[in-house]
Structure 1
Amino acid sequence: MASRVECEAGEAAAEEELSVLASIYCAEGEFQLLRRSAQDGLLVQIKRTVGAADRGLAVSLLFLLPPRYPSCPPDISVSSPGLSRTQCHDIRRKLLDHAAALPPEPMVHQLVERLQQCVEVREESRGREEEVTEGGGDERWAAALLLDHIRSRRRYVGLLQRWSLQLQLPGALLLGPRILVVLRGARPDVKEFCRLLKTVKVDVDSSGRKCKERMMKVLIEAPMSSSCEHGLQTFLVKEYKSLPELSAAFQELHMTELYELILPLLGDLTAYGSPQ
């Protein structure tokens, strides 16, 4: 009972905070509620321009507010075209540490304000880090994974969305005759996503027991073209029933090149049933 009361109180506090955030970050595209889930909570995106006045830095923050928020802090993702992956991870860690030190009350606005300090610290060493990563270690990759089946859809999808946020890997789960996961981001993070799929119990077997994803196949991993950069921003779930619908989904994701590469590997889509 205490847990349910706590969740209901957290939901009320989160909803009130959403209203406040929408009024504070009211410029076009600045605030967006991306997802509302009874199981996983709220996914909120806030875009800010921070840093020195003469060269403001565009930063996008994703906050995953779990059902028990604000009794427990949110998960956070940081991305910016002006920062390296290492810099974004470092800022994320500082924000998570700050969130853990705050009292259990609505904190998103405080964390957004804290971002300014984190970016100022990063700018002091930015030139040095850019020299270190200049050799291409931060190259962006695209990957397509093939899943055999999904029995426990809510659990499976929830884990994929959580890993995507934690690893800062925008992506999509495409549910249809073949079940595909599309990811884009740094190659080490793609590798970690695949490792989690193989080692964490993400689904249930035919007997209803939790099981790992042992049938996943990596269809392709490749350096990402610049056209993909403007597509995925979060982790989407889309359903399709035919090849034209699958093609349209990849076009919407700005990943037509990846679709053309994996199409010969998919075989006859009509030979496969829909995911459970």
Structure 2
Amino acid sequence: DDLGLGVRVFHRAGGVRRGPKGAENVFVCLSGPPQGISSFCSRLRTESVDVDAQGKKCKERKSKVLANRRPGDVKQGERPVPHFEGFEARECGTEKEVEAALQELNLLHCGDGRERFFAAEA
């Protein structure tokens, strides 16, 4: 909230490595000023954001930026990525649900190959 960002989080509950209480395949979509987004990404890697299997605090080291679009940047044939505010989290049970959530934000075709959706579990 202090960064002035709109946040949408899509995740899959549980999973092979996390068990029923964890989350895997977490997608975070941010909307807001570039300095706020940069600060969020920095904090994600430098501040404790989770706990490991032993209950020790840990940082997110595997996050990856799949796309960075400036407001008004639109590829030919696409609609603009909508501006959004506030925080919203949604659990997605299937790849189709993730695709639908990303399509709502016009971010479906970001990333590539095994770095999209749930391919890492294959």
> TM exceeds 0.5?
yes
Corresponding residue SS for 1:188: helix
Corresponding residue SS for 2:99: helix
Corresponding residue SS for 1:222: coil
State the AA in 2 paired with 1:205: D
- Residues 1:185 and 2:35 are matched in the alignment: no
Match of residue 196 from structure 1: 43
Unaligned runs of 5+ in 1: 1-164
Q: Cα 1:169–1:210, aligned 2, differ >3 Å: closer, same or farther?
A: same
Q: Cα 1:227–1:182, aligned 2, differ >3 Å: closer, same or farther?
A: closer
More helix by share: 1
2:99 aligned residue (231, 244, 247): 247
Structure of higher RCO (CA pairs closer than 8 Å, 6+ residues apart): 2
Match of residue 76 from structure 2: none
Alpha-carbon shift at residue 270 of structure 1 (Å): 5.2
Q: Cα 1:195–1:270, aligned 2, differ >3 Å: closer, same or farther?
A: closer
Cα distance in structure 1, aligned partners of 2:95 and 2:52 = 28
- Residues 1:170 and 2:19 are matched in the alignment: no
Cα distance in structure 1, aligned partners of 2:53 and 2:4 = 32
Match of residue 86 from structure 2: 234
Q: Is the 8 A contact 1:167 1:189 kept in 2?
A: yes
Alignment of 1:2-151 (within 5 A): none
Q: Is the 8 A contact 2:25 2:117 kept in 1?
A: no
1:206 aligned residue (53, 56, 65): 53
Q: Cα 1:212–1:227, aligned 2, differ >3 Å: closer, same or farther?
A: closer
Unaligned runs of 5+ in 2: 13-23, 73-79
Corresponding residue SS for 2:109: helix
Cα distance in structure 1, aligned partners of 2:7 and 2:33 = 12
Corresponding residue SS for 2:111: helix
Cα distance in structure 2, aligned partners of 1:213 and 1:245 = 24
Q: Which moved more, 1:232-241 or 1:220-229?
A: 220-229
2:67 aligned residue (220, 232, 239): 220
Alpha-carbon shift at residue 267 of structure 1 (Å): 4.3
TM-score for both structures, normalised by structure 2: 0.71
Cα distance in structure 2, aligned partners of 1:196 and 1:207 = 22
Q: Cα 1:227–1:173, aligned 2, differ >3 Å: closer, same or farther?
A: closer
**Number of equivalences:** 104
RMSD value over aligned CA atoms?
A: 2.3
Alpha-carbon shift at residue 222 of structure 1 (Å): 1.9
Q: Which has the larger radius of gyration?
A: 1
Alpha-carbon shift at residue 168 of structure 1 (Å): 0.9
Q: Is the 8 A contact 1:219 1:265 kept in 2?
A: no
Cα distance in structure 2, aligned partners of 1:268 and 1:192 = 25
More strand by share: 1
Match of residue 110 from structure 2: 261
Q: Is the 8 A contact 1:184 1:224 kept in 2?
A: no
Q: Is the 8 A contact 1:172 1:236 kept in 2?
A: yes
